Each structure stands twice: as structure tokens, then as C-alpha cells.
Structure 1
Amino acid sequence: MHLKCLGFFWRGGGGVVSCKSDVQQKHKRGLGQEITFGNAFGLPCYCAVPSLLCIFNCSLHKYFLLSLSMKGTLGGVYDADGDGDFDVEDAKVLLVILHYCKSNAVVNSFTAKKKKPKLLNKFDKTIKSEINAAEKLRKKGKIEESLRAFEALVQKFPQSPRCRYGKAQAEDDLAEKKRSNEMLLKAVNSYREVAELPDVPPDLVKATLKRCADRQQFLGRTRGSLATLEKLVQIFPEDISLKNDLGVAHLLLGDNKGAKRIYEEVLARAPHDGFAKVHYGFILKSENMIAESIPYLREGLETGEPGTDDGRFYFHLGDALQRTGDKSAYDWYEAGHRRGHFASVWQRSLYNVPGLRARPWWTAEETGYTALVKMLERNWLTIRDEALSVLDSNSGQFLPEDENLRETGDWGQFTLWQQGRKVAASCRYVPKTCGLLERYTEATSCKRGQIKFSVMQAGTHVWPHTGPTNCRLRMHLGLVIPSKGCRIRCTNQTRSWEEGKVLIFDDSFEHEVWQEAESFRLIFIVDVWHPELTQLQRQTLSPI
């Protein structure tokens, strides 16, 4: 899935057949615990491209283009402005999408246990043996044979809903096997045809249209998926799970208001629905209604219902509690850690590589990047002077931080490299600085980081937050540092910058910044690959 988000505005892209979460714990205290997301094929659980701030484009015209891992695929979700920080605005996409996949799977399995769906009308019961024979081939993996059998049945019995449904399922399976979007389009059309036939059992209508909506979303046909779900809700107005799915579809389309309206309707009818509560709370938080979001997120998580147990809900609840001064935030972070969502209470990144050394603060020697550190410290005056010339020019190169990370103050950033790509237009303003960095590929090739200047005015406080991944370390070179009032906390250790000196920390751990001086603070941020990543990993990890 590939999305970029601002608040809850999205535009859909696509998805896959199933979702699965694998959690691997490496250390007793969780510092090495890694979380990866994907499915049996290593494909992304969903594709979407948020509407306002695209940072990751993907084409779904061919299945082989979906060979990204989900953790890489969803990397862009975290970083609305490309600075690698994970905040209220950034994580929403994953939240909704993962729960959409997971809740559907679980809810459907529960439904199956309670009541076996009735998929045959009276006529189809008379040809049940022929249907079963074709279905048996499909279940044995003989998909081509099954498809031929169902095609023959449809030709022989064109008004049979179950035969046409079997044909659609076989086309669906064959599309997955061949990674063919063309075949999947045939399946979507066949699913649609089933629902349009006369005398279709209600259970078959529901199963058909739900799968049709899912496959439409996979193909990036988000509006078509929304229309299909709206039809389902009209046919089955009492099915709350369908309303919840419709809310997700609105989010994927970028219709934040529509999603909010849907979840309000759900909660009016089912006030204890956990899925609706966490998503409604999530929307409120994206609207900066921090205090109002807390009870919905908390009560939704407490239900333990399918679709609620996800690290991003724990993250946002904890973040909201922190911003209101409620120390129970760390209880929820601890709960998220116990549930396997976070590496630890402090380290809450979600796009991780297993087994990497996890510690909040690093020395240059520990990173192995001493040459880079020495170069930065040796040339800090040159770097500072170029940055000040840009700052003094009022050229508009320093852009405001826009991820809602600040409680107070002004914070601007001027980016030179992002996701391992040089921003040539920016480097024209600071050619000496960019020239100094060119040969240090541990920084310039870091697809999960940035290189940028950061200016923070007096009176700025940055909320506690975490970066998205454990795959990088962050260097801060002090350029203009007031004598008092500027400090950074990472976990429970607080330090201050020095002019001409480099601080190194792992921003996947919680960190917080105070600028209480009387003048501005200017630093140079250089993200580098985690030193324990192999060359192959550095080449194949997708950007964040």
C-alpha cells in the first residue's frame, strides 16, 4: 500500500488477499523486539496513495510490482513531511487498513461458526453435485480445471447464481496464481454479475459483494469499492460490520467527514462497538480533538474486539494521554508492548528489521561512522554559514513542521536529501555542504531517513514522539546553540547540543525537545543507516 497522509485524507491504491502480523521478540526487555507485517507472498496488505501529500507512488498494473514487503510498503504512511517522525497525522493509514483486513477475516470466521451461509437457491440445489465437483477441483488447487468446469456450468445454467459465483472464485484464484490484474478484473465483473441475477440467496449476495469490494480496493478502484459497500449496506442495513467497512472505504477515499458520519451512525445504534470506537477516536485525534479522542480509543481497545488490537491504536491513545498530562499513557504503551506491538515502552517504531542493536544514545565509535562525524565537526563553520545565508535570505526554503508535533513555538526544516535521494534544488543553495556529504553513502543512500537543517525558535516545545523505524540512527550537528535553554530527551536521558559537536541517537525511541532560550537554535540533521544492516538490506529496504 502506498500512502501519504495528512490527517485522515487518503486516496486508494490496492491491497492483497490476506493480512498477517509476525512478532519476533529478541530481548527480554523488548529492546530488540521486531515487528514485521506481510502475508504469505510477501505482498503489502493494502495499497493507498493519500491525496494531499503524495510521497510514495506505485502502479498496480502488474502484480509483480507488488513484491514489496508490507513494512516497506507502508513506510510512507508514517511521515507526512518526510522527516521520519511518527505522529498523530501519520499512522492513521496503517491503522485503518490493517484492521480492515484483520477484522473482516476474524468477523467472517466467527460468522461461519455461528451459522453456515446458505449459498444455494432451489434450482442450484438440483445441480449441487455438479457444482460440488467443480468446487472440489478449485479447493484442490486445480484452478484452471475448476474454471473450465464452472464456465461450462454457467453456459449451461446462465441463471445459476452459485455457478457464476464459483466461476468468479476460480477467476479470483487464477488471478492470484498468475499475478494477473486482467484476470482479476474478470473476477470482479463475475462477482458483480452474481448479485444482479434473480433469486440470489441473501448470504450469497453478501459474500459476493464483500469479495467484489475487496478486489476492487485491491485494484485501486476505491470509488467502485465504496459504491459496492454502499449497496451492501442498503441491502443489509442491520449488519454493523458492513457499516464499519464502509467507514474504512470513506477513509481510503479521503472522505474524512464521510467516515466520521458513518461511525457516528454505528455508535448511535451500537454504542459499545469497539471497532467503531477506535476508528472514531482516531478521526477525532486527527482533528486535534485530543481530549475527546481518549475515551473512544480507550474504550474501543478495552473491548478487545476484532480489529481493535493494533499498535497504532495503542500509540495514539498513549500520545493523546501524554498531551493531556495523563501519566497513564505509559500504562498503555506497556500494554502495547505486552501485546507485541512495541519493542518496549520507550521504543515504539513499527517498521523494523529484527535483531538490530537497540539503544537510545550512541557514540561515533559505536556507529562505525567516525569519518563522517569527524568531517561534520571539522567543517561545521562552513555548514553553518551556508545554512545562515539561506535563513537570512528569506527565500522560503525553511518550511514549517506540519505534523502536529509542536505544543508551542516555531520550527522550520530545510531538506537536502530525502529517502536516499538528493534534493538538487535545495543543494543549489548550500553547494559546499552537499559536496561534503556526497561520498558518505551511509547517509546519502539512507532511504529511511533525511539530511536537513532544523531551526527552532525560542519558546518551542516538541511533544514526545518516536520515529517510524529502527533502521536508522540520527546525527545532530550543533550550528547555532544558545548557551542555555535548549535540550533534547531520549528515553530518560536528557542532553544539550554544542556548537561544532555531533550528538547521535536512535529516534525510534521516544524523544522530546525544549527550546527555552532567548534566540533561535540551528542544527544539521544527518540520518544514517543502522550500522548492523547488511549491504543487501540497505539496497532492498523500501523508503520511509
Structure 2
Amino acid sequence: MKDPRSASLMALKQWAHHSGVEFAQLQRVEEGLASTEPRGAPHQRAAVLCPGLEAKPWHDATRFEWLGAVEQASAAIKFEMLAQYERIGTHPEAAALADRGQWNSFYFYYMGKRSDENHALCPHTARVLAQVPGIESAGMAYFSVMAPGTHVKAHCGFTNTRIRIHLGLVVPPDCTMRVGAETRSWQEGKCSIFDDSFEHEVNNNSDRYRAVLLFDTWHPDLTPVERQALTFLMNGWKDYLA
């Protein structure tokens, strides 16, 4: 994988100059881009690891007060997922990460690129996602469907500047996700919140498929100007995997 850090650092300086932002306000982002050997907490690895952000594998909902509205809409979101089930295609990272089984996806956003067609097909889901801070720039949003017997092997996300959320839609027994050293399952209608810059892997050991709505939001420790800078940088990171 190409290393985007040096080019991104130069672009960030130019963006700050043209935007009238004091570069000192972006020190943490600069450090994340400048480090050639990012070191985080145990099990945490990312190409861009910004310092000073709360680092733990699993998060609770206390800092994401808007998640209640997501959970309240879970029945409507599940209905739309089921209605589009036949349209759900192979996940773009399945060949690299799913070492057995079948991993499928139905995208609303991919690295900030919006699927207008899928938004129109799932209006309830689209309205809920529109309330998520950074949904158009922080990363991904899609239905993630894993067939029985699927295993997605251990991997780490690209950066610690986002938090990943799974809304459980169809959760049979014997489906688990390990983030860091702790393994949990999902609950239908509830959100699981984690930092995907920590090593994580997923197992569906059941005889039914598992489905979640996966989406990213900004790490709550980022300042508004850091979020603006990262939104700019994300446009240059679209070729790099989540």
C-alpha cells in the first residue's frame, strides 16, 4: 500500500494557509501524518494515528447521544435491508479479509462518496444516517451481511480519527466480534461502538446470515477545526482501505 502521509502533510499545510487556519491548531493531525511508525495502545495499529484521542477498543453510548434515534429506527432500517437483500453484493474487501464464507455489502457512503441510488431505495435509513456527525466524510456507511460460516480475519482500520458503529439488524446466536482483547456479540436494535484502529475480527458460526448497519462517525475528542482538516484529507484517502 502506498504511504499517503508525506503528500497529505504538504496538502494539509496548503489547506490551512488558504483556509486561514493556524497550523498550530492542527498539531495532533500533523503528528499523526508525520509519524512513520505510529504507536498506539495494545492491539492498536493505524497508518494515521493522531495522538491525544481516547484510545480504547470498545466505547459506550454516553458520548454519542444521537445514537438513540438510530436505535429507535432499527425496525424500519431492518425492513429496508430485507427489501434490498437481493441487491446486496460482494464486499470490496471480501477477497482480502474473508478467509471463509461470504461477506456482502450495500453502500450508502464509501470514503465519503454517496450512493444516490441506494439512498433513494432506503429512505428511512438515509434519513437516520443524515443525522450522524461526519457521515459524508468520516468513512463508510453500508449494510454488512455475513453468510453462515463466514470469518473476517483480524485487521486494523486506516486511522483512529473515526469511531465505527454497528446497528444489529439480524443477529443469530454464535456471531461474535473481537476488538482488541475483548469479544462481544451484537443485539438486534442496539448499537455496538468500537474504534476500528484496534485489531478486530468477526465470526459467524451460526447457520443463518448476520446483518448490521455499519457506519462511521468522527472521534468525539476531535476539535471542530481538526474535523474540517480531516474532511479535506479524506478526499485524498479514498483509495486507501478502511
TM-score (norm 2): 0.80
Are positions 1:449 and 2:139 aligned together? yes
Are positions 1:518 and 2:191 aligned together? no
Q: Kindly indicate whether the alpha-carbon contact (under 8 Å) linking 1:417 and 1:452 is maintained by their aligned counterparts in 2.
A: yes
Supply the distance in 2 between the matched residues of 1:533 and 1:421 (Cα, whole angstroms): 22
Are positions 1:398 and 2:93 aligned together? no
Supply the distance in 2 between the matched residues of 1:538 and 1:513 (Cα, whole angstroms): 29
Once the two structures are TM-superposed, the CA of residue 398 in structure 1 deviates from its matched residue by: 2.7
Match of 1:439 among 131, 134, 137: 131
Once the two structures are TM-superposed, the CA of residue 443 in structure 1 deviates from its matched residue by: 4.0
Supply the distance in 2 between the matched residues of 1:503 and 1:439 (Cα, whole angstroms): 17
| Match of residue 44 from structure 2 | 347
Question: For each residue in 1:505-541, what CA deviation from the matched residue of structure 2 results, as whole angstroms up to 9, or x when unmatched?
Answer: 1000001111000010000012110001111111111
Alignment of 1:248-327 (within 5 A): none
State the AA in 2 paired with 1:346. H
State the AA in 1 paired with 2:65. T
Once the two structures are TM-superposed, the CA of residue 37 in structure 1 deviates from its matched residue by: 4.3
Match of 1:380 among 54, 67, 74: 74
State the AA in 1 paired with 2:218. W
Question: For each residue in 1:413-436, what CA deviation from the matched residue of structure 2 results, as whole angstroms up to 9, or x when unmatched?
Answer: 111023334321211211121022
| Match of residue 51 from structure 1 | none
Are positions 1:424 and 2:121 aligned together? no
Match of 1:370 among 65, 73, 76: 65
Please state whether the residue corresponding to 1:512 is helix, strand or coil.
Answer: strand
Supply the distance in 2 between the matched residues of 1:422 and 1:345 (Cα, whole angstroms): 34
State the AA in 2 paired with 1:485. D
Please state whether the residue corresponding to 2:54 is helix, strand or coil.
Answer: coil
State the AA in 2 paired with 1:355. G
State the AA in 2 paired with 1:375. A
| Match of residue 410 from structure 1 | 102
State the AA in 1 paired with 2:44. Q
| Moved >2 Å (runs of 4+) | 36-39, 397-403, 418-422
Match of 1:468 among 151, 154, 158: 158
Supply the distance in 1 between the matched residues of 2:44 and 2:54 (Cα, whole angstroms): 12
Alignment of 1:60-459 (within 5 A): 340-365=37-62, 368-371=63-66, 373-391=67-85, 394-395=86-87, 397-402=88-93, 404-440=96-132, 442-445=133-136, 447-459=137-149
Q: Kindly indicate whether the alpha-carbon contact (under 8 Å) linking 2:53 and 2:221 is maintained by their aligned counterparts in 1.
A: yes
Please state whether the residue corresponding to 2:71 is helix, strand or coil.
Answer: helix
Q: Kindly indicate whether the alpha-carbon contact (under 8 Å) linking 1:491 and 1:509 is maintained by their aligned counterparts in 2.
A: yes
Change (3 A) 1:429 1:398: farther
Q: Which has the higher strand share?
A: 2
Q: Kindly indicate whether the alpha-carbon contact (under 8 Å) linking 2:80 and 2:122 is maintained by their aligned counterparts in 1.
A: yes
Supply the distance in 1 between the matched residues of 2:224 and 2:112 (Cα, whole angstroms): 14
Supply the distance in 2 between the matched residues of 1:363 and 1:468 (Cα, whole angstroms): 22
Question: For each residue in 1:367-413, what CA deviation from the matched residue of structure 2 results, as whole angstroms up to 9, or x when unmatched?
Answer: x2222x1111111010001011100xx23x43334351111110001
Question: For each residue in 1:28-55, what CA deviation from the matched residue of structure 2 results, as whole angstroms up to 9, or x when unmatched?
Answer: xxxxxxxx9448x9426xxxxxxxxxxx
Q: Kindly indicate whether the alpha-carbon contact (under 8 Å) linking 1:342 and 1:350 is maintained by their aligned counterparts in 2.
A: no
Q: Kindly indicate whether the alpha-carbon contact (under 8 Å) linking 2:42 and 2:180 is maintained by their aligned counterparts in 1.
A: no
Q: Kindly indicate whether the alpha-carbon contact (under 8 Å) linking 1:443 and 1:451 is maintained by their aligned counterparts in 2.
A: no
Tell me how large the CA RMSD over aligned residues is.
3.4
Supply the distance in 2 between the matched residues of 1:408 and 1:529 (Cα, whole angstroms): 31
Q: Which has the higher helix share?
A: 1
Structure with larger RCO (C-alpha < 8 A, sep 6+): 2
Name the larger-Rg structure.
Answer: 1
Are positions 1:527 and 2:221 aligned together? no
Supply the distance in 2 between the matched residues of 1:469 and 1:429 (Cα, whole angstroms): 30
Q: Percent identity?
A: 33
Q: Kindly indicate whether the alpha-carbon contact (under 8 Å) linking 2:39 and 2:49 is maintained by their aligned counterparts in 1.
A: no
Please state whether the residue corresponding to 2:49 is helix, strand or coil.
Answer: coil
State the AA in 1 paired with 2:61. A
Change (3 A) 1:364 1:407: same
Please state whether the residue corresponding to 1:477 is helix, strand or coil.
Answer: strand
| Aligned length in residues | 222
Q: Kindly indicate whether the alpha-carbon contact (under 8 Å) linking 1:401 and 1:411 is maintained by their aligned counterparts in 2.
A: no
TM-score (norm 1): 0.37
Supply the distance in 1 between the matched residues of 2:147 and 2:103 (Cα, whole angstroms): 6
Supply the distance in 1 between the matched residues of 2:186 and 2:134 (Cα, whole angstroms): 20
| Match of residue 185 from structure 1 | none
| Match of residue 23 from structure 2 | none
Please state whether the residue corresponding to 1:43 is helix, strand or coil.
Answer: helix
Question: For each residue in 1:469-491, what CA deviation from the matched residue of structure 2 results, as whole angstroms up to 9, or x when unmatched?
Answer: 01011111100011x21000011
Question: For each residue in 1:203-251, what CA deviation from the matched residue of structure 2 results, as whole angstroms up to 9, or x when unmatched?
Answer: xxxxxxxxxxxxxxxxxxxxxxxxxxxxxxxxxxxxxxxxxxxxxxxxx
Change (3 A) 1:400 1:418: closer
Change (3 A) 1:504 1:510: same
State the AA in 2 paired with 1:436. V
Change (3 A) 1:525 1:443: farther
Please state whether the residue corresponding to 1:428 is helix, strand or coil.
Answer: helix
Are positions 1:500 and 2:189 aligned together? yes
Once the two structures are TM-superposed, the CA of residue 342 in structure 1 deviates from its matched residue by: 2.7
Unaligned runs of 5+ in 1: 11-18, 20-35, 45-63, 73-97, 99-309, 312-339
